[in-house]
Amino acid sequence: MKKPVFEEELNKIRYEIDKALNHVSDYSMHDSWGHVDFYIGDIVEEIFQRAGQGHIRLAFAEIELLYRRLLECLEYQGECEITDETDSCIRDMAKIAELAVFPEDKEYI
């Protein structure tokens, strides 16, 4: 299996994250309670697929990118599904970090 190019793969996942969250700040997309609907399950699944393939540094960088993007979205939301997803990202970061065996991956994390 060909090793993924770090920056290329990070840019691909960045695009997917932006596409999934691009309407979070658009108040016309919110329901009467102010909640917004979005789905990132496929993104998280892809990240864990990378981790399962042994690309720990890339998987960690991707989940960190997702986490930071979700934090940016909190400006537009209160306690809601974004909060739940950011909490999940922290747990996912820990799971991915536990998979690190190579010194360079551990150092990156």
5: tokens are: 């190019």
The answer to whether the beta carbons of residues 17 and 40 sit under 8 Å apart is yes
Under 8 Å CB-to-CB from 48, ≥6 apart: which residues?
Answer: 59, 92, 96
The whole-number pLDDT of residue 71 equals 87
Distance CA 27, CA 50 (A): 34
For 5-12, which contacts have Cβ atoms below 8 Å and span 24 or more sequence positions?
Answer: 6/57, 6/58, 6/61, 9/50, 9/58, 9/62, 10/58, 10/61, 10/62, 10/65
pLDDT of residue 83: 82
**Residues ≥6 apart with Cβ < 8 Å to 94:** none
This prediction has a pTM of 0.84
104 secondary structure, DSSP code: H
Tens place of pLDDT per residue across the chain (109 aa):
577 899 999 999 999 999 998 877 655 555 544 566 788 999 999 999 999 999 999 999 999 999 999 988 876 665 567 888 889 999 999 999 999 999 999 999 9
- C-alpha 69/C-alpha 20 separation (Å) is 11
